[in-house]
Structure 1
Amino acid sequence: MATVKEAEEGQALLPKSTATAAAPSKHLGLPSVLVAGIAYCCASGSMVLLNKHALASFGFSAPSALLCFQCALAALLVKLCEVFGWVKLQPLKWDLVSVWFPVNLIFVGMIGTSFYALKEVGVGMVTVWKNLSNVVTAMGDVFIYKRSYTWPVWGCLGLMLASAVVGASTDSRFTWSGYSWQIANCFFTSAYALYLRSVMDKVAEHTTNKQKVYYNNLLSIPPILAMMWYFGEFEGLTQQAALRNNTFLLVSAMGGIIGFGISFSSLWFLSQTTATIYSLVGALNKIPVAIVGLVAFAEPTNPKNLASIVIGLGAGVLFTRVKSK
């Protein structure tokens, strides 16, 4: 996951003035990129399972409201870090907001479509279809950043695409609505990885990763409120039975805390690798999440469904092997 070759490729996306040779930094005696990748995998996997539990087990029908709460809680946690002196936040400035706000719009689209997809699509199929974002991200790397890939790489991406198609065709709970949200999520995920790469280079001199987490979550609240209004979630929100369920409130709070962790870890990890590897590691991490989801939520499956997961995992491992060479 953290080879010298990948580090060199990651530097190719940086401006020439910042792509200078430097010794790899370490945390806890391990390469920083490895620690960042592990933190990102743990946070993202846990959040998928918690949000699926919150949306599927308590009858809560306002995904955007749940997302708004989690973003607000994550921003509040960063402010608490400032109170305790662990981080220093800079005042919001218009020039920084103008650069960062498009990231928030893509971020809200990515997380929002994920929430709506999780309402209708099982965890197993959501994780399989996440692989499609690798295909879109790789194409973005080629057309935007002028990167090139060999035919074995495209072959692996083709296997990922095949696993998604096979999985959808054998999904007994297939709905056009659910899979439309999931397809939209793939494009938002790729756009987030590709665009955030360039934006982070622009604001790197002015903000730290913790500050980016704060701005990302705080500036996401207005567009999420707009989504709540558009989907009519304000009506009857206070009458949701789940809001009077202490277990639901606990699960939602844990999701907000992990949202803080995933915001920080994703920014940290993406700053040390390429958009394609960032997206790939996220997809690989979804394989164990899919298995846990199938068991924990008793999702109906069959041999073809399981085969699609195996194909996705095999393609991801092969992709990583090819990239490391």
Structure 2
Amino acid sequence: MKILTRSLGAAPLAIFSYCMASILMTVTNKLVLSSYDFKLNFLLLAIQSIVCVLLLEVCTFFRLLSHRAFDRTEAKNWFVVSLALVLMIYTGSKALQFLSIPVFTIFKNLTIILTAYSERYLLSGSPVTRLMLVSFGLIVASSVVAGWADITAGKTLRDSSASVVVAYGWMALNSITTTSYMLFLKSRLKSTGFKDFDTVFYNNLLSVPTLVVLSLLTEIPEATRLYERYYGPNSDVNASEFYGLTTGILVSSVSSFGISYSTSWCMRVTSSTTYSIVGALNKLPIAIAGMVFFDAVVNFASVSGVALAFFGGIVYSLAKAQQSAAAPKPIPLPAHTRLAGSDDDQ
């Protein structure tokens, strides 16, 4: 009972932690990495994973934290989680290659519904109530409204010559791999009893080989172009720009450590569906900041999209509160039937 109470109390803090880490990561990439012509996505992810592992080992060496020692059996069991994570990232990048960002966001939010029903029937999770469906609808509607201009103008594809089947095929694969990653992570956390730093260690360590292989297979031409830009005979890049890029990668890598930890924490104390909802709603502060501090377009569609997403989050919170209130409470045993030293007394 005490463990359950602690978990329920930790959920809001875990969600807040995940939101802050996600926002920090996004803003860092927006303000720093977007200023440089760096397109080696898999290499960047591999560097982030390596930095996460090194940072974890340094903290472990100084006894600031601890994690399980590497075990081959546990690594084999956990590899499917790290593979699903890499596939989610890869299919997402391919979908964005063909689809416009508004359309990608719409289908990404539709994935929340797929996750909710998959968690219900595959992991025996909480039922999907009507109020939850209303909240899902509001969140999806928010992305539709925000991207309505592009949709009505027929700008659903980045390249008009691209195949619609290929574009939406990658989007479908991204929805499937996203749901698979969250379900695999949730089920493995239950079966292995991993703590949060154990998850950070195995997730990042096992992701490195896959990311390195994907980078070698797909990014050699881009790496050659980047090398020529910085070190070629016609290079016009100064040292300050190189150090700025290096610093940006380092800061984003440290931020990814926070993402890894808060993701594990959030998934452990909440549901996969709640995690998906939080992932969709944590873009609201960034959107608002873009309207207030940056040059983001402020019009009826953008403001309405933010408002709908906000109300969708409130409705989902109410749905979860109703579900918790309706859940059957354990019936306490009479005092004379309780054994000394039972779990409730410890």
TM-score by length of 1: 0.79
State the 1:140 CA deviation.
1.1
Alignment of 1:88-99 (within 5 A): 88-99=66-77
State the 1:199 CA deviation.
0.6
| 2:201 is aligned with 1:199 | no
State the 1:269 CA deviation.
1.6
Indicate which of 300, 303, 309 corresponds to 1:303. 300
- Matched AA of 1:156: S
| 2:36 is aligned with 1:39 | no
Over the aligned positions, Cα root-mean-square deviation in angstroms equals 3.3
Alignment of 1:207-226 (within 5 A): 207-226=194-213
CA contact (8 A) 2:284 2:306 kept: yes
Indicate which of 127, 138, 155 corresponds to 1:159. 138
State the 1:212 CA deviation.
1.6
CA contact (8 A) 1:60 1:240 kept: no
Q: Which runs of 5+ in 1 are unaligned?
A: 1-19
Cα distance in 1, alignment partners of residues 293 and 84 from structure 2:
30
Cα distance in 2, alignment partners of residues 293 and 113 from structure 1:
27
Alignment of 1:22-171 (within 5 A): 22=3, 24-25=5-6, 31-113=9-91, 130-146=108-124, 147-171=126-150
State the 1:141 CA deviation.
2.0
State the 1:116 CA deviation.
6.5
Is the alpha carbon distance of 1:74 and 1:254 closer, same or farther for their aligned partners in structure 2, counting shifts above 3 Å? same
Cα distance in 1, alignment partners of residues 310 and 197 from structure 2:
32
What is the aligned partner in structure 1 of residue 178 from structure 2? Answer: 189
Deviations 1:39-89 (A, max 9, x none): 111001111222234553211121111111111111110010111122344
Deviations 1:227-257 (A, max 9, x none): 2123234444534548952222222111111
- Matched AA of 1:24: T
TM-score by length of 2: 0.75
| 2:275 is aligned with 1:278 | yes
What is the aligned partner in structure 2 of residue 14 from structure 1? Answer: none
Cα distance in 2, alignment partners of residues 47 and 120 from structure 1:
24
State the 1:220 CA deviation.
0.4
Q: Secondary structure at the match of 1:59?
A: coil
Q: Which runs of 5+ in 2 are unaligned?
A: 160-166, 231-236, 323-346
Percent identity between the two aligned chains: 28
Is the alpha carbon distance of 1:156 and 1:89 closer, same or farther for their aligned partners in structure 2, counting shifts above 3 Å? closer
- Matched AA of 1:315: G
Cα distance in 1, alignment partners of residues 182 and 201 from structure 2:
18
CA contact (8 A) 1:71 1:218 kept: yes
Q: Secondary structure at the match of 1:92?
A: coil
Aligned residues: 301
CA contact (8 A) 1:129 1:164 kept: no
Q: Secondary structure at the match of 1:96?
A: helix
| 2:274 is aligned with 1:287 | no
CA contact (8 A) 1:137 1:190 kept: yes
CA contact (8 A) 1:124 1:293 kept: no
Moved more, 112-121 or 137-146: 112-121
Is the alpha carbon distance of 1:173 and 1:240 closer, same or farther for their aligned partners in structure 2, counting shifts above 3 Å? farther
